[in-house]
Amino acid sequence: MKRVALLGMPNTGKSTFFNRITGASARVGNWPGVTVDLLGAKVLLGGEIVELVDLPGIYDLHGFSDDEQVVRHFLENNAVDLVLLIVNTSQIERQLSLVLQIKQLNLPAVVLLNMSDEARKFGITVDTQQMGEVLDLPTVSLSAKYGTGYKEAYQLINRAVQASHPVRLERIREMLAQDAQIEAAMEAALSKAVQIPVQLSDNLTARLDHVLLHPWFGLPLFFVVMYVLFQAIFFLGSPLQEGVGWALDQLRQGVLDPALAPAPAMLRGLLLDGIYNGVGTVAAFVPIIILFFLFMAIVEDTGYLSRAAFLMDALMSKMGLDGRSFVMMLMGFGCNVPALMGTRVMRSRALRLLTMLTIPFSLCSARLQVFIFITTALFTPRAAPVVLFSLYMFSFATAFLTALLFKKRFQNTEPFILELPPYRFPTLRQMALRGWHEARHFLNRASKFIIAGVVLVWLLTHFPAGAAPASPQTWAGMIGAFLSPLLDPIGINQQLAIALIFGFVAKEIVIGSLAVIYGMEGTALMGLMGHQLDWVQAYSFMLFTLIYTPCLSTIATIRSESKSLPFTLLAVGWPLGLAWLLSFAFYQGARALGY
C-alpha cells in the first residue's frame, strides 16, 4: 500500500486537511503543536487505497523536540511515496524554507498553499503557477477549512499518487545542504511569485490584541473569561443533565421495572440497581461533556491559548515553567492525557517533566462531572457555582505549589519562543466534529471502565450473600473499615471510600458507584446524599477527588511519556499525599471553627 505523508510547519492546517480528505476527526486547534503523534487513515487516492499520515508540525528538519523527532523517526523508518507539503500562504515568506529542505531530500512532493482565504484578506497574493515552476513541484492553492480549491488540490494529489514511487530516507540531517543555499532559493521564489503588502491588513487581530493583551486589563480579563465560560457550562448544562436523568428514570419505571419483574431478584438487582443506575447516572452527563468540549473547541480555535501563554509567562517563569506549561494546564481541563502529550513541544526534558508533574492537578471534565453532581446535591443553587469555581482555584493553586516545590529538581534554561497566530473562529462543522469526537470518546470509556466498575461495586456492596446491601458486613464495608483510620480524619465515610477507590481507575466511575452504593440514581440519589453528608464532608471529599490521582490512563501516559518509573511513582505519590494533607487541613479546620 502506498503511503502519503502530510508535512508542514505547526499550525498550518495539516489536520484540517487530513480531516477533510479522510473524513476523520483529528484534533484541530489554533495552537502550534496540537498534533504530537502520528495519525493514519486509509483513503482512495489515484485509484488505489493509500495510507495517509497526519504528522506533527515541524519547523525544520534539524528539529530536536520530541514531537519533531516523531516526524524524523517516521521519515527515516518508513518508505514514503508522496509528501503533501502544507504551507500557510500568509506566512509563505518564511515557511518556504521547509519546502526547500524537503525538496533537497528528493522526496516526491505536492505543495498545498493553504489558508488562501486568510492570505486574500491580508492582501497577500501568490502566483501559484509561477511558484510551481520556480519550485519545480506541483503547487495548488486552497482553503482546507472552507473547501475552496479543494477539488483542484484533490485532482492534483490523485495524479501525483499515480506517478509516485516509494522513497526511503536515511540520516536526514546529513543530507541537508547549507542554509545559505536555501536562503537564496527562497528569495528567488518569493520575488518571482509572491506579493506581500508593506502594511498587513489584519485589523481584527490587532484590535482584539490591543484589548486582550492590555498591560493592566489583560490578565484580569483572562480570569473573567474563564469564569464566565465555566458558569455558562454550569447553567446551560445542569438542566440538560437533569433532563436526561429524568428521562432515564422514566424509562426504568415505565419499561424496565415491569419488563424485568419476573427475573430473579439477584439478577434484577445487578441489572437495574447495578448497571442501569450506575451507567445511567454517568450517561446523564453526556450533554454537559459535549457542551464543555464545544466551548473548549471554540477557545482552542480562537488562538486565545497563545495569548494566555503571553500573559502568564512572567508568572510561570518564577515557577520554573513557561507560558506553554500554562496552556497545557488549560488543555488539561478537557482531559489530562492529550495535555500530557502536548508537552512534547518542549525541548528540555526537565521542563517537560516539571510540566507533566503539574498537569494532573488540572480539573478535567471527568472530575467536573463529580463536582457538578455533588455541588448540586449539597449546596444551594446560588452557592453551587461559586463552590465549583473555588475548586478550579484549588486546581491552579496545587499545580503552582507543586511547580514551586519541585522546580529546583527540574531546572531548565529552555528558551521561550512562540507564535501568536491570528484570531480565528471554528466553523460549525469543526465544532460538530469535536463534539461528536468527545462524545464517542466518552462512550468508549463508559463501555470499557464504567460498566466493569459499577458491576464490581455492586458485587462488593452486595456480598457475601446475606449481608444487607452496603452494610458494614459486605466486602465493601470491610474495605471501608480497613481504610477508616486513614479516611475518618478527613471526613470521608465508608460509602465514599469505595467510590474513591474506583475513582482511581476513572473519575466517571465515582458517581456511577455512588448510585450503586446508595441504590438510587439521579435526583433521588442527590436527595439522599444531601441528608447523609454535610457540606464540610462533601467539600473535603471533592478536594481529595480533585487532587489525589487523575485516572489510570493519565498514569499510563505519564509512564509512557516520561519513560521513567521513578518519575511516575513521584507523579502518583506526591498528589496522594498532598490530597490527604489538604483535605485533613480543611476538614479539621472547618470542624474546629464549629461547622
Ligand X SMILES: Nc1nc2c(ncn2[C@@H]2O[C@H](COP(=O)(O)OP(=O)(O)OP(=O)(O)O)[C@@H](O)[C@H]2O)c(=O)[nH]1
Q: Which is nearer to Mg ion, 19 or 369 (CB)?
A: 19
Which of 238, 221, 527 lies closest to 385 in space, CA to CA? Answer: 238
Site residues (CB under 8 A) for other proteins, limited to 340-359: 347
Q: Does 395 bind ligand X (CB under 6 A)?
A: no
> Maximum Cα–Cα distance for the chain, whole Å?
86
Using alpha carbons only, what angle is made at residue 306 by residues 304 and 307, rounded to the nearest 5 degrees?
A: 60
One-letter identity of residue 151? K
Q: What is the DSSP string of 357-402?
A: HHGGGS--HHHHHHHHHHHHHHS-TTHHHHHHHHHHHHHHHHHHHH
DSSP, collapsed to helix, strand or coil, labels residue 492 as: coil
What whole-number distance in Å separates Cα of residue 252 and Cα of residue 326?
44
Shortest distance in whole angstroms from residue 73 CB to other proteins: 17
Sign of CA dihedral 435, 441, 445, 448: positive
- Phi, psi at residue 256, to the nearest 5°? -70, -45
Shortest distance in whole angstroms from residue 317 CB to ligand X: 23
Evaluate whether 374 touches 559 at the Cβ level (below 8 Å). no
Evaluate whether 556 touches 511 at the Cβ level (below 8 Å). no
Q: Does 59 bind other proteins (CB under 8 A)?
A: yes
Judged by CB under 8 A, which stretch of 76-84, 216-224, 333-341, 366-374 contacts other proteins?
216-224
Q: Which is nearer to ligand X, 35 or 95 (CB)?
A: 35
One-letter identity of residue 486? L
Residue from 120, 424, 437, 559 that binds ligand X (CB under 6 A)?
424
Site residues (CB under 6 A) for ligand X, limited to 251-310: 301
* Residue that is written with C-alpha cell 508542514 in the block: 8
Judged by CB under 8 A, which stretch of 40-48, 87-95, 259-267, 456-464 contacts other proteins?
87-95
129: its cell numbers: 503557477
Judged by CB under 6 A, which stretch of 115-123, 173-181, 250-258, 402-410 contacts ligand X?
115-123
Evaluate whether 463 touches 475 at the Cβ level (below 8 Å). yes
Residue from 2, 4, 13, 549 that binds ligand X (CB under 6 A)?
13
Q: Which listed option, other proteins, ligand X, Mg ion, none, makes contact with residue 143 (CB within 5 to 8 Å by class)?
A: ligand X
Judged by CB under 8 A, which stretch of 385-393, 397-405, 414-422, 436-444 contacts other proteins?
414-422
109: its cell numbers: 512532493
Strand partners, 88: 114
Binding mask 120-159 for other proteins (x = CB under 8 A): --x-x-----------------------------------
Residue from 37, 60, 152, 488 that binds other proteins (CB under 8 A)?
60
Contacts of 272 (CB under 8 A, 6+ apart): 252, 256, 257, 260
Evaluate whether 68 touches 10 at the Cβ level (below 8 Å). no
Q: Does 325 bind Mg ion (CB under 5 A)?
A: no
* Residue that is written with C-alpha cell 450517561 in the block: 283
Q: Does 117 bind ligand X (CB under 6 A)?
A: yes
Which of 325, 332, 376 lies closest to 553 in space, CA to CA? Answer: 332
Q: Which listed option, ligand X, Mg ion, other proteins, none, makes contact with residue 310 (CB within 5 to 8 Å by class)?
A: other proteins
Q: Which is nearer to ligand X, 431 or 443 (CB)?
A: 431
Q: Is 382 exposed, middle or buried (0-12, 13-18, 19+ CB in 10 A)?
A: exposed
Kindly state the number of chain residues that form the binding site for Mg ion, as judged by CB under 5 A: 4
Site residues (CB under 8 A) for other proteins, limited to 154-193: 179, 183
What whole-number distance in Å separates Cα of residue 486 and Cα of residue 540?
14
Shortest distance in whole angstroms from residue 345 CB to ligand X: 9
What whole-number distance in Å separates Cα of residue 79 and Cα of residue 456?
47
Q: Which is nearer to other proteins, 12 or 16 (CB)?
A: 12
Residue from 12, 25, 35, 412 that binds Mg ion (CB under 5 A)?
35
What whole-number distance in Å separates Cα of residue 184 and Cα of residue 564?
45
Q: Which is nearer to other proteins, 213 or 298 (CB)?
A: 213
Q: What is the DSSP string of 110-174?
A: EEEEE-HHHHHHHT-EE-HHHHHHHHTS-EEE--TTT-TTHHHHHHHHHHHHHH---B----HHH
Residue from 2, 5, 25, 35 that binds ligand X (CB under 6 A)?
35
One-letter identity of residue 29? G
Evaluate whether 534 touches 496 at the Cβ level (below 8 Å). no
Q: Does 144 bind ligand X (CB under 6 A)?
A: yes
DSSP state of 468: P
Q: Does 419 bind other proteins (CB under 8 A)?
A: yes
Helix (H), strand (E) at residue 183: helix 179-193
Judged by CB under 6 A, which stretch of 69-77, 113-121, 372-380, 510-518 contacts ligand X?
113-121
Q: Does 222 bind other proteins (CB under 8 A)?
A: no
Q: Does 15 bind Mg ion (CB under 5 A)?
A: yes
Residue from 417, 428, 465, 592 that binds other proteins (CB under 8 A)?
417
| Region class of 60: left (phi > 0), else alpha (psi between -120 and 50), else beta | beta
Q: Which is nearer to Mg ion, 15 or 495 (CB)?
A: 15
Q: Which is nearer to ligand X, 418 or 451 (CB)?
A: 418
Residue from 4, 5, 7, 28 that binds ligand X (CB under 6 A)?
28
181: its cell numbers: 543555499
Q: Does 65 bind ligand X (CB under 6 A)?
A: no
Judged by CB under 6 A, which stretch of 10-18, 177-185, 259-267, 323-331 contacts ligand X?
10-18
Kindly state the number of chain residues that form the binding site for ligand X, as judged by CB under 6 A: 26
Q: Does 132 bind ligand X (CB under 6 A)?
A: no
450: its cell numbers: 464504567
Shortest distance in whole angstroms from residue 415 CB to other proteins: 5
Q: Does 435 bind ligand X (CB under 6 A)?
A: no
Q: Which is nearer to Mg ion, 18 or 285 (CB)?
A: 18
Pairing of strands 139-141, 3-8: unpaired
Q: Which is nearer to other proteins, 196 or 256 (CB)?
A: 196
- Judged by the rule CB under 6 A, the positions of this chain that interact with ligand X are 8, 10-16, 28-30, 32-35, 56-57, 114-115, 117-118, 143-145, 301, 424
- Judged by the rule CB under 5 A, the positions of this chain that interact with Mg ion are 14-15, 34-35
- Judged by the rule CB under 8 A, the positions of this chain that interact with other proteins are 9, 59-60, 62-64, 90-91, 93-94, 97-98, 122, 124, 179, 183, 196, 200, 209, 213, 215-216, 218-219, 306, 309-311, 313-315, 317, 323, 347, 415-421
